[in-house]
Amino acid sequence: MGISLKRLDTIIGTRQLLYTLLIIFTLIPMFFPLRLPISISARTKKVYSYIDNLKPGSYIFIDFDYDPAGRGEIEPQAVATMKHLFDKNCKLVIASLGTTGPVMFEIMRKTNPDIFAGKEYGKDWVNIGYVAGGESAAAGLARSISGTVAADAYGNPIGNLPLIKEADKAEQFALAIVYTTGTDTLYYFVRQWFTPYKVPLIMGILGVMGPAAEPFVAAGQAVELLVGQVAGAEYEVLVGRPGIGLGAMDAQSTSHAIILIFIILGNIMFWSVRLRGEKR
């Protein structure tokens, strides 16, 4: 019996079985949504109320800096928060410290045209594009955007953009939001935007980056974090615009359920084998 249990353990532990079930149970809710209720975490509520309490028309700096692999987790956060900011008539200056940022921004803009509807380029929002130099670029942008870049992402001279004439230095921004897949970028903004200029920071990050970014909030260097796709889904609920974040929540639930079932089965097998072994 002990041997057959071990064999069962091996069968359950087969990668192919687990992987196949995971694919199936991730895809099913995409086609047949379960519409499970979601709770709004205190963290996301805090970000929402912070943005909600901003003075209408505030200048916001956005570092759009995630890579393609992080799109699923961060794009829902970016879309929902940017919609909220535009609804509050905030003016957005968007830049990317990573090379993939501008590409991801264009994909986001093309797939979510509604949030940019009625907003005029140059006055309501500006996309500076990729700024090379990592931390020194962050420092340069904080000192002066027009002094750091000559033209925006579309080739317009930076001096011709009315928004940049109004908001050119870190001090003029009411908030900086960093959407990134790189923990280093968070340090750049803490060191170059928060420490010298005290610009409040909101960090939109991957689920796995949460623990590393946590100390920024505890130390008061960041207002709050938006962590992973869950935060995106929660924010979509708060702004009343369901999107891919919310759509993927069911898939996240079912895939987590499969993993949990496997963990439970694994433990049952482990203890059955162990107890039988001890009896003998």
Partner 1 sequence: MNYLPVEQVINPAAGTVSLAILIFLSLSGYYYMKLAEKGRTFPVRKIRAFEAIEEAVARSVEMGRPVHYTIGYGSIRTAHAPQYTAGLGVLTHVARLAGKYGARLIVTHGVPEAIASIDEIVRDGYFSEGRPELYNPVDNARYLTDVQFAYASSAQAVIIRENAGANIVIGPFWAESLILAEAGTMVGAFQIGGTARDVQIPFFVLVCDYAFIGEEIFAAGAMASGDIPTLASIRGQDVGKLLSIILIVLGLILLPLGVKLATYLMW
Partner 2 sequence: MSVVWRRTIPQLLVAIILVVMTALYFLYIDKTTKATLNYWDGLLINYSIVIAAMAAIVGGVDLARYHVSLIMKREREQIPFSLITIILEVVCVIFAFYALATGVPILTQPQFSWIYLNLQVPTSSAMYSILVFYVASAAYRTFRARNPPALLLLIVGVIVMLGNTSLGFAIWPGFTPLKDWIMTVPNAAGYRPIVIGVGLGTIILGLRLILRKEVTWMGRRD
What angle, 0 to 180 degrees and rounded to 10, lies between the N-to-C axes of helices 71-87 and 244-279? 140
With CB under 8 A, what is the number of residues at the site for partner 1? 14
Stretch that binds partner 1, among 104-112, 124-132, 182-190, 269-277 (CB under 8 A): 182-190
Report how far residue 134's alpha carbon sits from residue 129's, in angstroms, rounded to the nearest whole number. Answer: 13
Question: Is the Cβ of residue 102 or residue 243 nearer to partner 1 in the bound state?
Answer: 102
Q: For 56, what's the count of Cα atoms within 13 Å in the CB-facing half-sphere?
A: 3
d(Cα 194, Cα 201) in Å, to the nearest integer?
7
Of residues 6 and 191, the one with the C-beta less far from partner 1? 191
Of 5-24, binders to partner 1 (CB under 8 A) are 15
Reduce the DSSP state of residue 118 to 3 states and report it.
coil
Instruction: Please report the beta strands in the chain, taking only residues with DSSP state E, as ranges in sequence order.
Output: 59-65, 91-96, 125-130, 175-180, 201-205, 224-227
Nearer to partner 1, 174 or 259 (CB): 259
C-beta of 15 vs 280, nearer to partner 1: 15
Per CB under 8 A, residues contacting partner 2 are 12-13, 15, 18-19, 22, 26, 36-39, 41-43, 67-72, 99, 102-103, 130, 136, 207, 210-212, 214-215, 217-218, 228, 230, 249-250, 252-260, 262-263, 266-267, 270-271
CA distances from 251 to 1, 159, 186, 200 (A): 37, 46, 29, 34
In whole angstroms, the minimum distance from the beta carbon of 208 to partner 1 comes to 6
Contacting residues toward partner 1, per CB under 8 A:
15, 67, 69, 134, 182-184, 187, 195-196, 208-209, 211-212
